[in-house]
Structure formats: structure tokens, C-alpha cells
Amino acid sequence: MPEINRRTFLRQSAIVTSGIAASGLITIPSFASVTFNAESPVATTIYGQIRGYTDNGINVFKGVRYGADTSKRRFMSPLAPEKWSGIVDAVDYGASSPQGGQRGGNMSEDCLFLNVFTPGLRDKKKRPVLFYIHGGAYSGGSGSSPLYDGVRLCNRGDVVVVSINHRLNAFGYLYLARFGKDELADSGNAGQLDIIMALKWVRDNIEEFGGDPGNIMVFGQSGGGAKIATMMAMPAAKDLFQKAITMSGQQITASGPLNATLRARAILDALKISPERIDEIRTIPFQKIVEVLNTKDPVLSFGGVYFGPVLDERSLLRHPFYPDAPAQSSHIPMIIGNTHDETKAFLGGDPTNFTMTWEQMPEKLIPNMRVDIQPEMVINEYRKLYPQLSPGDIFFKITTASRSWRGAIIEAEERAKSGAPTYAYQLDWATPKDNGKFGAPHASDIQLVFDNIDKPGATAIGPQAQKMADIMSQTFIAFARTGNPNNNSIPKWEQYKLPRRQTMVFNVPSHLEDDPRGAERKIFEKVPYIQAGS
């Protein structure tokens, strides 16, 4: 069977139907039936009034506009919305950014919308605000998955939950600044500037929703976590959030401006637009841009054009976590987490990856480690560490350790070196689904953190599932409230310090462990970490 790439797997694999939804790669629409009456909640924002609905005692406002229509400012920084009169209904999710495949549901360039879940309105209770950024790399997804529904978190912890949509892929990260148009100077980080505008909306409006503008925790999975890591080095994001959690999402380096320009040229070539006619890409139908998003990347040896943050010397003046942790966010308490079996979400759709032989493994590893190291040496070291494991088991261990997990370790270590308050976790709890074949794959922590194991797309089943959701959701709420994740559902969680590398291993029960997988970490330390896309 031929190798299945990540995009194909995310469309086809049964196990990651949940992972797709969980990481925001597809949108499952809401089917809530809303009936307005005198009890329907109405909130007043600085732009106008909105009417929502109640769900299990929680006030819900969906599709709330935080930015103006970006179709009129394609590739430019966002603008605040115009004020409106009357009461606008806010009961349906807003459109997601244009994207490829079937991942976006309702798509439009007019996509700067957010959703608010809150137990109270105008009651001055100053609840912690949990601001969620969806996954899907920087290219896909939306804040509309049922797995991101905030009702249960609100009821569990008396908190406010916010989720957002923002510009993605070419619309949010196509770097056109070197083609001579001043109005395109922010094109490489427009998606990041959208998120910052949403955070400003929260700062300016969240008291109306019973939230505390001085206690905002950003959290995000996969691409959402990477966007957070990037914001921690963006001057425009300074003081807009007070706590941060990244879940399997790291950003050590951004794309360099010259590589980003090569990628822009590849998209322009695919559209048959010369740089001299650059204005054409600002006016063509957005569907034409979507059609060329899978253009081969001119820098990487795999996949379509990479879209991500750019070292543009405007919004981003340094790499997020290179050569060190950004000083501007060193005071912000941060949790950095990953799952034990990340790559089973990307590579588990190919059954041959479970049944390969030792002889087949080197060629399988070469395109999937994302690091330039001799595969035979790595295999030999892993066989010494885990003599009881099969080739397939070793394959998933190696690919997990050599890819995103390395970025998480680097971020945690750099923050530890600077004395920044940092906590690390590893999710070991494996769903019994499919006889536990997929372990704890990428995106499996989302349903647990939101306590949404009964939602469509969730895979957490079995007698321990709710207990695991209780543990993770309570821990995230505790961190949002105080900046310290300790609570009565886990043992004492110590900060990540060198050389111990204390890490909370989430399971039933959970435990604190020094440097889990430390021997694996050391195998790859000899090779420089270069983030794909840089």
C-alpha cells in the first residue's frame, strides 16, 4: 500500500474523524434550535447589542463580529467593525476562513467572528476568561466544532469561554510584502493580527459577559498552540493575556521572509499572476486562491505550500522561541503539553505502518522524522530502549519524538533557563476505542479539556473517560483562575526546572515524572531542530 500523507489520512481515517474535528480541521455544524423569548439574553458590546440563547443555564452568543469584513482588505491588517443599531441575533456560528477540502463548512473572507459562553451577564463577578484558538495548522479549521463548546466548562468552573475564527492559509499568511505595495506589508501575519484584534475585543467587552479583562488565559491545540507561541513574541500582543496553554502546538522559528517570498511566488505562478500585476490577487474570487493552496512547497521536500507566521520585522521582530524564550512573555505562567502518541493521528491511517518489518522501517522513517539523522542508528537505539516493542510501535515512538515533541521540549527548556513559570504535561491516557490501537494521539486531549466526551467526534470511551475529562478540565480551570494548575484531582504539579524536567503525566491516576522519555530526548539532541516551514 502506498504511503498515505497527512492530508489524505485526515480525510479518510476513521480514528481521526475525531482528531480532525478536535484539531479544527473540519467543522461540524451546530443544530441547536433556538426560540427567542423575553428571557433570551441580550448583551451590549462597544459596537452594538447582540441577542443569544441559553443552554443548560449558560448564556451563549455565537457569530459575534469582532472585525470588519476582510474581503474588502484582503492580505491587509484587520479593522474594527462598524457600530450597528438595534439588536443583532448571535445564535449561529460565523463563517470560517476560506480553506481547502471539506474542512471549513460555511466559508467566507468575512470570517472575523467569535463565540462567547458565560454563566452570567453584567454581574461584576470577574470570572477567568478561557480564550480558545483552534487547530488545523495555520491553514484550516474553525472555532465551530462541537468539541469546543464551552457550556460544560462554564458550568464546571464558573468561567467564561471564548472561541474564534480568523484568516488562515494564504488569506492570513501569504507574505507579499516584497512585491512593492505598502498596503501588503502585513500580509505575512494578517491571521495573527486577527487573533490579536479578537483579544482586544475581549479586553474591551468581556466585563459585560461577567468576565475579567485582567485574567485572560489563551489556550489552543496544534496550530492553535503554535499561534499562541508566536503571539508570545509579538509586541502587539503584549498584556492582552495573562496565562497560556499550548496543547501539541509549538513554534520555535517563524518562516524567514525570503523563503516566505518564494512561497508567495509559487502561489502567484499557480495563479498565473506576475509580480508586476500583484494587484490582481487582491481582487480575484477567493475560490481561485483556494484552488491553488496545495501548490508544491518550493522550500520543503514534502507537502503543499507552508503557511505560517513570518519574520516580517513589523509584527514579528524575532523568532518565537529562538534563540531563547521571548522576554516580553517571561512573566506569563505557561503550560506546554503533548500527547504520548502524536503521530498515530497522522500516520495511523496506513495499516502497513503497524505491520512493517525492521528492514522496511528506515525508508518509512526518512520522510516522517522531519530531522536529518541516520535512521538505522535511531532504530538501533530505540530497540535497546524498548526491546519488547514491534517495528510498528517503534516507528510511532520515533516519529512522535522527532517531530513536534522536540519543539515542546525546546520551549519548556528555554523558559526554564529564563526562570519563567512553566509547567509541562504528557497525556498518556489511551482511549479503549479500536482496542487501544491509537493510544493517545494528536488532538485527543481536546475533548478531555473541554469535558465534551459525549459530543460528536469524541473518541473518549470506557469507564475511565469521564474521570480523565474531570481531571484535565479541572486542572485547566485551576490554571486559568490562578496561574497554578494544582487542584485536588492531581498530585502536586511542580514547575518544569532543569535538570529534572518535571512533567505531569495525565492518566487515571496521574503522576509527576522527571524527564519522561529522557532517553529518547537525548537521541535527537545531537541534531539541530529546524521547524518545518522556516
Beta-carbon contacts of residue 473 (< 8 Å; ≥ 6 apart): 152, 153, 156, 157, 448, 449, 450, 451
Backbone angles phi, psi at 500, to 5 degrees: -70, -40
Q: Which residue stretches of 114-209 are H helix?
A: 151-157, 169-173, 190-205
Closest CA to 254 of 244, 242, 263: 263
DSSP class per residue in 261-300 = HHHHHHHHHHHT--GGGGGGGGTS-HHHHHHTTTPBPSSS
DSSP class per residue in 414-439 = HHHHHT--EEEEEE-----GGGGTT-
Q: Dihedral angle at the C-alpha atoms of 275, 279, 285, 287, nearest 10 degrees?
A: 30
Pairing of strands 42-44, 49-51: antiparallel
What are the Cα distances from residue 29, in Å, to 50, 289, 456? 21, 24, 10
Q: How many CB atoms lie within 10 A of CB 414?
A: 19
How far is residue 65's CA from residue 76's CA, in Å, rounded to a whole number? 18
CA quadruple 348, 336, 230, 526: dihedral sign: negative
Name the residue type at position 72: K
Catalytic residue among 23, 77, 144, 222: 222
Could you give the count of Cα atoms lying within 13 Å of 376 in the half-sphere of its Cβ? 1
How far is residue 143's CA from residue 465's CA, in Å, rounded to a whole number? 24
Burial class, 145, CB count within 10 angstroms (exposed 0-12 / middle 13-18 / buried 19+): buried
Q: Dihedral angle at the C-alpha atoms of 255, 336, 139, 25, nearest 10 degrees?
A: 160
**Contact present, 463 and 455 (Cβ < 8 Å):** no
Question: Is 96 annotated as catalytic?
Answer: no
Q: Would you please indicate which residues are annotated as catalytic (active-site) residues?
A: 222
